[in-house]
Amino acid sequence: MDNPVNPMDFGYFTADTLPPQIQEIWLIPRKDDAQIEGESAPFKIENPSSRAGNPAIEAQGAISLAVNIRDRECGANYNSFGAYIVRAIANSDTIFQFLADTISYSTTRQIGLSYELGHQEEFQYRRPLFRLEKPLDSSITMLKGANPGLIEIGGDTIEVIIEAEDYVGNRSTAGFTIVPGSPVEHRHKISDTAENYDVAFSHRIFGVENIILRADFSEKPTSTPIIIRNETPVFPKVLADSSFSFRLFDVEPSEILKMHIGGREWTHTPKLWRFESGMKYDLAGGWRIEIPENGVYRPFVASDTIIASSGGGEFLRLDPAGVVLRRSSTLSIDTSAIAAEAGKACIVRIWNDDTFFVSNSVDDKGRIFGTISALGTFALAQDTIAPKLILNIKDSTAVSRTLTASLKDDLSGFSNDVLPNSFIDDVWIPTEYDPEKNVLIVD
């Protein structure tokens, strides 16, 4: 049986009396020519359910939609569900529909492709948005064609309605109007005078669709820079008087990007490589990543950068972190030139200012390696702090059969494969470990 059982088919959660809440709607650029309210950046609609009468949104090019929906069961409790049905309607035409019952066990792993994980990382959201667009290269069934949900804005006004419905039929809607934006060239005066600026380029990648190229000028330029790609001008988001960011789609490794102000041109080639199945890449700082066969749903561009930590060490930043891998990849680092106490070096992941143990396994060439299910920020650390063990017994208390102890460790932790040796009267005793309670059990 490939389809999961819906508990609501059997009478559970019958008190559901509240409709889903459409808390946020985002318009997201999908191609170089996309502009929303004059910028090539995602645009958030505040309070979408009460937007009636608000001004239309100016946009052009190819965009898609993403939503944040919460469905509280009823006023008597705080049970929260996902929406059972989500629809996007443009000019009375349903361009996207998600029905929860169509997700099978065989496609469950692809659910992550339906969320804006790159958007979550870029904007530091606690929870990702649900994208109203069929994920590329997924087998999840959606409505209307191979790539439903993409909106191409030409010369016509588009009336958009988002519908969210729960299992018992409670429904909420939110609507807004998109009007074609005036050409961006009319908003940005491009000077004919070449100026002598120093420019520092940097980039980040937050998802599989695009990279963010940042240009920091040595002083405020007299006009807005542009990048020309495939004869299409790409206009930036203005970060500050002398800082701009370009959202660029389908950038290829070794592609030369050309930025212009009037008669002056700057070229830059971001350090990118293609993350694809069956490949092995040597990265900065002695790191290496090996991608298994069928390791990704689709190839994408990636980048690796060594960044300094506030504590004086170095991190490896592997972009984009907001990507779902089909199979785990192997990350390793050469420790031959690193002074590490034997057996205590390990790979850790840095996320939200916390440190998470990955592995301390060592191969026959002296490389520490571990498997990772997502990219992100990693470091080589040393686990030099001993764990804490506290016996759960008071002095002079009789022990009939079972003895327990609380175990705490700040980094590598424990498992039933790696446990401390336990002795009673110098006799070794086998132990078990409860990872949920962090308790060691001697029976």
**What confidence tens digit (pLDDT) does each residue in 239-282 have?**
988 999 999 999 999 999 999 887 788 999 999 999 999 999 99
Task: Tell how far CA 174 is from the center of its chain.
Answer: 26
User: Quick one: pLDDT band at residue 410, thresholds 50, 70, 90?
Assistant: low
Q: What is the mean pLDDT of residues 286-304?
A: 93
- From CA 68, how far away is CA 46, in angstroms rounded? 11
Q: Which two tokens stand for residue 337?
A: 């030139």
Out of 97-101, 163-167, 176-180, least confident range: 97-101
- 202 confidence band (pLDDT: 50, 70, 90): very high
Q: Which residue in this structure is represented by tokens 């667009």?
A: 133
- Cβ 319 vs Cβ 306: under 8 Å: no
Question: Mean pLDDT highest for which of 107-111, 315-319, 423-427, 439-443?
Answer: 315-319
What is residue 78's predicted lDDT score, i.e. its pLDDT? 55
Does residue 194 surpass a pLDDT of 70? no
Of 314, 320, 336, 312, nearest to 273 (Cα)?
A: 320
CATH topology classification for 7-182? Coagulation Factor XIII; Chain A, domain 1 (2.70.50)
pLDDT recorded at residue 190: 47
Between 134 and 25, name the one with better pLDDT. 25
Residue pair 73/81 in contact (Cβ under 8 Å)? The answer is: yes
pLDDT at 414 over 60: no
Closest by alpha carbon to 90, among 54, 128, 38, 133? Answer: 133
pLDDT at 238 over 80: yes
Residue type, 70: R
What's this model's pTM, rounded to 2 decimal places? 0.78
> By C-alpha distance, which of 97, 110, 31 is closest to 64?
31
Name the nearest CA neighbour of 2 among 108, 85, 94, 96. 108
What's the whole-number mean pLDDT along residues 83-108?
81
Q: Find the mean pLDDT for residues 290-305.
A: 93
Residue 41: which residues within 8 A CB-CB, separation 6 or more? 29, 237, 245, 247
Per-residue CA distances from 175 to 45, 48, 316 (Å): 10, 7, 43
Structure confidence at residue 420 (pLDDT) = 66
Question: Quick check: 304 pLDDT over 90?
Answer: yes
Going from N- to C-terminal start, the domains of the chain cover 7-182, 187-264, 273-382, 388-442
- Tell me whether strands 171-180 and 57-74 are parallel, antiparallel or unpaired: parallel
Do you find a cis peptide bond into 320, omega within 30 degrees of 0? yes
Greater model confidence, 396 or 200:
200
Give the whole-number percent of the chain exceeding pLDDT 70.
Answer: 74
The mean pLDDT of 155-169, rounded to a whole number, is 89
- Mean pLDDT of all residues in 378-382: 87
pLDDT the model gives residue 186: 43
* Contacts of 95 by beta carbon, 8 Å cutoff, 6+ apart: 88, 89, 143, 144, 148, 149, 150, 151
Whether residue 28 contacts residue 65, with contact meaning beta carbons closer than 8 Å, is answered with yes
* CA–CA distances in Å: residue 442 to residues 399, 400, 405, 430: 11, 11, 8, 7
Task: Provide the β-strand partners of residue 433.
Answer: 440
Quick one: 153 exposed, middle or buried, by C-beta within 10 A (0-12, 13-18, 19+)? Answer: buried
- CA-to-CA separations, 196 to 65, 192, 199, 379, in angstroms, rounded: 40, 13, 10, 40
Fold for 273-382, please state it: Chondroitinase Ac; Chain A, domain 3 (2.60.220)
pLDDT in tens, 119-146: 888 888 878 888 888 766 666 655 555 5
Q: Which two tokens stand for residue 53?
A: 């009468």
Lowest mean pLDDT among 15-29, 138-152, 166-180, 320-334: 138-152
Q: How many CA atoms lie within 13 A of 236 on its CB side?
A: 22
Alpha-carbon gap, residue 424 to 67, rounded angstroms: 59
Measuring CA to CA, which residue among 234, 177, 185 is closest to residue 210?
234
Contact assessment for residue 353 and residue 367, using Cβ atoms and an 8 Å cutoff: no
Higher pLDDT, 209 or 213: 213
